[in-house]
Amino acid sequence: MLYWLAQRRSSSRFIYNVPQRTEISENLARAELSSDLERTPPAVIVVEGGDAIPSVTGNALDSAASMQNFHELREFITQNYVLFDRVGNLQLFERRNLASEINHQGLQDTK
């Protein structure tokens, strides 16, 4: 929904993190997502808490807790993003220097 409302393409085919949270697909899906994000970093990353779905993921971790075990993603966000808002269970991370990129290159170049 976010991509549609923002009229932007997603940075990865993974628009939700279930494949990165399940034991059967975790390693491959995490590697592919990491590669996608390095190649096309999104303007904003949203991390949800309280969204645990044990019957699907096979564990009781929510997205925020799962990210603690996904070292590459956690490091990517730490190095390239800043937490700029919290809305309910959502943490919103904005790419560092996004405002200056928009001012210098125009909004469509930050996709």
Q: What is the pLDDT of residue 94?
A: 94
Going from the first residue of the chain to its last (111 residues), give the mean pLDDT of each consecutive group of 10, the final group possibly shorter: 78 77 87 92 92 91 91 95 95 84 50 43
End-to-end CA distance of the chain: 16
According to the model, what pLDDT value does residue 101 have? 60
Q: What is the pLDDT of residue 41?
A: 93
Helices (H), 11-95: 18-21, 26-39, 54-57, 63-69, 71-80
pLDDT of residue 14: 73
In DSSP terms, 46 is beta-bridged to 92
Query: Which pLDDT score, from 0 to 100, does residue 10 have?
Result: 82
Q: What pLDDT shows up at residue 7?
A: 85
**Closest to 65 (Cα-Cα) out of 45, 48, 77:** 48
What sign has the CA pseudo-torsion 68, 57, 83, 4? positive
Of 95, 62, 90, which Cα lies nearest the Cα of 77?
95
Total of domains in the chain: 1
pTM: 0.77
Distance between CA 19 and CA 99 in Å, rounded?
A: 32
State which residues form the domain around 81.
2-110
What pLDDT score does 64 carry?
A: 94
